[in-house]
Amino acid sequence: MRKNFGSKPMLYPMPVLIIGSYDKNGTPDAMNAAWGGISEENEISICVSEDHKTTKNILVSGAFTVSIADKENLVAADYVGIVSGNNEPEKIKKAGWTAVKSELVNAPLFEELPMALECRLKSYDEDSCRLVGEIVNVCADERILTDGKIDLAKFSPITYDPVNHNYLTLGNTVGKAFSDGKKLK
């Protein structure tokens, strides 16, 4: 027996994406987004409501960053998801983050968030709320690298549980992709 939950945005795991943007005066903003993911080799798609300050910013600046929220930044990551830059001009300061302009796109990186995608706006459709960005670059702070690769022993991305409204860290490595399935070939 299965229980039906109906038509709902439920998925596991869901990301905790922090979208960084500048307004027309160069003031940085950030928001939390769970409804997003990779949609092409070098493309990310995220469902972002039209009324967010982030959306207005990106339509003007033509760019955004997507940082991956981690355990260390959990409180600030949730804060930027419940307070709007439309009402709080000091949002980034209150989050405790340090905005630094990306060298590649007109959008802020946040020093405290060690991994980010730097994106150029491809399209935004206000009916579907779908924001599509070209991934120009992915960057990661050296503090989370081992032998030049992102090391999840040094970086703890969090995931959003849409049923219980919790944040969780990722678990242990339990298998090898593109490999373990070969056992059944």
Ligand X SMILES: Cc1cc2nc3c(=O)[nH]c(=O)nc-3n(C[C@H](O)[C@H](O)[C@H](O)COP(=O)(O)O)c2cc1C
Q: What is the DSSP string of 128-147?
A: TTEEEEEEEEEEE-GGGEET
Q: How far is the CB of 182 from ligand X (least distance, A)?
A: 36
Residues that contact ligand X, how many (by CB under 6 A): 20
Stretch that binds ligand X, among 74-82, 94-102, 136-144, 177-185 (CB under 6 A): 74-82
146 touches ligand X (CB under 6 A): no
Rounded distance between C-alpha atoms, residue 131 and residue 154, angstroms: 30
Distance, CA of 125 to CA of 54 (rounded, Å): 14
Kindly give, in sequence order, each residue whose CB lies less than 8 Å from that of residue 33, ignoring residues fewer than 6 positions away: 15, 17, 18, 19, 46, 47, 48, 81
Nearer to ligand X, 62 or 141 (CB): 62
| Residue nearest ligand X (C-beta atom) | 81
With CB under 6 A as the contact rule, the residue among 22, 45, 48, 108 that binds ligand X is 48
Among 47, 111, 125, 151, binds ligand X (CB under 6 A): 47
β strands within 55-164, DSSP E: 63-68, 99-101, 108-110, 115-125, 130-140, 145-146, 149-150, 158-161
Binding pattern for the stretch 24-43 against ligand X, x by CB under 6 A and - elsewhere = -----x-xxxxx--------
Summarize as ranges the residues that interact with ligand X (CB under 6 A).
29, 31-35, 47-49, 52-54, 78, 81-86, 160
